[in-house]
Structure 1
């Protein structure tokens, strides 16, 4: 699972198609979508038209909580829309209501075992909810995708995931962070990059998966260009401190 992915929330129609094409052209090899985004067909068409081999792209989609009880129909619809035989990761988008998570999770395990998805996980779950799934089924989510960024950094949350062997994946990295914060602008100036790339580099060095989103080709390409600099331990700690304000 590439640590840097491309998010597609709020991208619809031709805008979604072109953004995914631009992302793949810029070098992204991890695309994140969801049933509720309403753009799986456009994502699938972009994947096909890009010419990038299927086995080089990690594709994630998600089950809306209101589809609890319709798991098989939902994943099959996602695969048809995406034009894929299987996705790489299927997530429960939010915990279903009325204590239905375990029942849904059992269906996820079955879908994985039947080859419809290579891995299964959750999104917006707390540690206690993850523990319930593991205790009831013996199957631990591979990933938990949560709202995350430097201003939400909490060592306890990080430790809770790592102790359980669950990958922490962050969404909305820029919306959760003040990109004009002096800490970020100062680090950015030192390395000759913009604050957004500092935020992404911080995620990568922590080994957090991160899925920035943009519809602008230049920004999509710029966000992918984070290999040319490395944050120092002092810089990492300064950015960590944004979560303690």
Structure 2
């Protein structure tokens, strides 16, 4: 069972680095809202901020960090390499660092296993795939610009191919994937763990207008605990063993999401959430030139 100090809990990665169990996600946050959200989160006690080049908000994230007054070295900062930049990994990280206004990031992820042609985003590079991208990613820790490298939206199929390739000298530290009770992906999480890869759950609250918030199992459990459904979902993820990055730009929700200390879900309560039969994904792959979700990770 997880500690009752969830907000100060960390997970040790295969590099020895410690990633905070809870962070602030910034995907789908509207322009001009992220800067303040990051500042609020850091002032409240968050020490983990997640962004990506593709989100278009790295500059705002950087300003929010600066405005918070929290020293950079106390913050775990994650960003991601966008699909059209797979052939330009060094340029990709340099672009992100400039936008963020920092000399390094704590974690740099391949955002998707899709090497998209920048001249036509509906096409995949015929001569380039994520194996070659990882070869370039592996050069980054030695530069000091990146402390840890990992992947995002990689399934077992992708990881098997990557880890079995002779050029793979560094096992990804993290695989960031969609995880909530209606998309638990137990086989993928178990596979990550078996390979020493930490799982981070995005869309851990099921995203905006989620079907989760009409789920009687979740609502009844939250009411009985005297907690919000969001708090219950975050506690479920942390107690199951992965880090969570709930997204919000609302001050009250940002602060409430961080109120996870002093209580736990019981084993029975965890099992109730585990047994919710409904399934949905927030993030699909129809917009990509290649299919990345195969439905085989459940």
TM-score by length of 1: 0.95
> In 2, Cα distance between the equivalents of 1:141 and 1:201?
25
> In 2, Cα distance between the equivalents of 1:237 and 1:64?
36
Aligned with 2:213: secondary structure? Answer: coil
User: 2:10 aligns to what?
Assistant: none
User: 1:167 aligns to what?
Assistant: 198
Aligned: 1:36 with 2:54: yes
Question: Contact conserved, 2:40 with 2:68, CA < 8 A, in 1?
Answer: no
Question: Contact conserved, 2:138 with 2:169, CA < 8 A, in 1?
Answer: no
TM-score by length of 2: 0.79
Aligned: 1:182 with 2:211: no
Deviations 1:129-165 (A, max 9, x none): 1122222213211111111101112432221111111
User: 1:195 aligns to what?
Assistant: 229
> In 2, Cα distance between the equivalents of 1:123 and 1:235?
29
Question: Contact conserved, 1:154 with 1:243, CA < 8 A, in 2?
Answer: no
Question: Contact conserved, 2:53 with 2:81, CA < 8 A, in 1?
Answer: yes
Structure 1: tracts of 5 or more residues without a match = none
User: 1:223 aligns to what?
Assistant: 257
User: 1:90 aligns to what?
Assistant: 108
Q: CA RMSD in A?
A: 1.5
Aligned: 1:239 with 2:267: no
Aligned: 1:147 with 2:178: yes
Question: Contact conserved, 1:94 with 1:122, CA < 8 A, in 2?
Answer: yes
Deviations 1:50-88 (A, max 9, x none): 110111110000011111111111101111111111100
1:203 shift after superposition: 0.4
How many residue pairs were aligned? 245
Within 5 A, what are the aligned runs for 1:35-184? 35-97=53-115, 98=126, 100-136=129-165, 137-175=168-206, 178-184=212-218
Structure 2: tracts of 5 or more residues without a match = 1-18, 116-125, 280-298
Question: Contact conserved, 1:21 with 1:46, CA < 8 A, in 2?
Answer: yes
Instruction: Identify the structure with the greater helix proportion.
Output: 1
Aligned with 1:242: secondary structure? Answer: coil
Aligned pair in 2 of structure 1 residues 119, 243: CA closer, same or farther (>3 Å)? farther
Structure 1 runs, 4 residues or longer, greater than 4 Å off: none
Which deviates further from its counterpart, 136-145 or 232-241?
136-145
Which deviates further from its counterpart, 203-212 or 123-132?
123-132
User: 2:13 aligns to what?
Assistant: none
> In 2, Cα distance between the equivalents of 1:177 and 1:153?
15
> In 2, Cα distance between the equivalents of 1:185 and 1:201?
14
| Residue among 35, 58, 66 paired with 1:17 | 35
Aligned with 1:79: secondary structure? Answer: helix
